[in-house]
Structure formats: structure tokens, C-alpha cells
A and B are shown apart, each in its own frame.
Chain A
Amino acid sequence: DTAVSQTPKYLVTQMGNDKSIKCEQNLGHDTMYWYKQDSKKFLKIMFSYNNKELIINETVPNRFSPKSPDKAHLNLHINSLELGDSAVYFCASSQAQLAGPYNEQFFGPGTRLTVL
């Protein structure tokens, strides 16, 4: 009964490759997020989707493209991977956007991406 799941857990790939990370939540939440956590543990939001629509797109290279086929899924596709993309990527979800009454964000287990 995993609340927020991500696949794969580990991803090792060469520079220049294209890869995808999948995220699914079974909490019935409306909003989903992607965060990047670098080697210094800094947790930074990348994207936020509300009911399949993009609502936040932080300063992220356009090599990163999120896709939300339905409100339970938010996938992250990365083109032309670079060494600096190596990090742990966390998906998260919440009942509604932050200004609403249900704000807790539930995080997935993370995907450790290593670019060689």
C-alpha cells in the first residue's frame, strides 16, 4: 500500500543519454511535484502539477520535461544527460496546493541518478 512510488530506485547511465523516471501516487492527491536533492542534501523544487496541469516550473534546463498522463502520475524525462544531473530525484504529492487546508507533502523513496 505504498503511497508514493518511484521507479527506478537507481539509474546509472552515460552522458548524453535520455532517461525517464516514473512516479505514481495512490493517495488521491491533486498536486504532484519533482524535487532534486544534490550531493549537499539541498532539496530544490523543479516542477509542480495540479490536476495534470503544470503550475510551477522553476529554473530548470529544458532538457527536463515532466509529463502527467493523469493526476496520479507524474513522470520526468531527461534528455542529453550531463554529469551535473547526478542527484537524487524525489517525487512528492499533496492533497491540494499549499494555500489549501491539506498541505502535507508525501515524498516518494527517491531515484538516485548517476551520470558517468
Chain B
Amino acid sequence: GENVEQHPSTLSVQEGDSAVIKCTYSDSASNYFPWYKQELGKRPQLIIDIRSNVGEKKDQRIAVTLNKTAKHFSLHITETQPEDSAVYFCAAGYSTLTFGKGTMLLVSP
């Protein structure tokens, strides 16, 4: 089955800095790579996703890159704000999703 590794487990940045979270996956059949944001006590919510036929996707301050050859994908958040503080999950899959273990991002004012 699929195995998704996510790093770092915690990330502290100053407001305005950029944050990068990296994930690797093992199953070359995976073709869908979403990122979810989970605020404390809330449900995970999709913030951006990418499919295997695309190398990069951007939505305002967030972007995701995918390297299928190396089997890794990354989330980039620019100009971070305190409200970006949350746990971020990457996931990968074909017929089901396997989630990474999450990254707790803390943005300090």
C-alpha cells in the first residue's frame, strides 16, 4: 500500500516569512495529491490539490509542486499570517487517500 512521509512535524515561522512542508510517497500509481488544513478542534479542510499530470499549482499565497519521478510534493505558503497557524496534512492516492502525519505550523506575529 501507499506510504506517505511528511516533514517537518512542527514548523515555527515569523509572520511574513515563507513556510515549506514536504511529503514523499511510495506508490507510483498515486495520481492525486491534496493538502488539508486542520485548525484546532476543527475538521480537515482542503486548501489545494494537484494531479499527476501537473507539476505546479498556485492559489494566491499557497502553491504546491509535484515531482513524480522523485515521488515527492511540497506545499509552499508565502507571506504567512497568524491565521495560517494550523496542522497541515498532505495525502496521496489513487483509489483511496493515505495521509501524512501532519505538520503543526505556528506563525508568530
Query: Does B associate with A?
Result: yes
Where the two chains meet, the residues of A that have a C-beta atom closer than 8 Å to any C-beta of B are 40-45, 48, 55-56, 90, 97-99, 103-110
A to B contact number (C-beta, < 8 Å):
51
Q: Give the CA-CA distance A45 to B56 in the complex, in Å.
A: 27
- For the complex, what is the distance from the CA of A107 to the CA of B32, rounded to whole Å? 17
Bound-state Cα–Cα, A44 to B96, Å: 11
B interface, CB within 8 angstroms of A: 31-32, 34, 38, 42-46, 49, 87, 89, 93-99, 101-102, 104
Q: With a CB–CB cut-off of 8 A, which chain A residues contact B49?
A: 103-104
Please list 28 pairs of residues, one from A and one from B, whose beta carbons are closer than 8 Å in the complex, sorted by A's number.
A40-B101, A41-B38, A42-B99, A42-B101, A42-B102, A44-B99, A45-B96, A45-B99, A48-B96, A55-B95, A56-B95, A56-B96, A90-B43, A90-B44, A97-B95, A98-B95, A98-B96, A98-B97, A99-B31, A99-B94, A103-B32, A103-B49, A104-B49, A106-B46, A107-B43, A107-B44, A109-B42, A110-B43
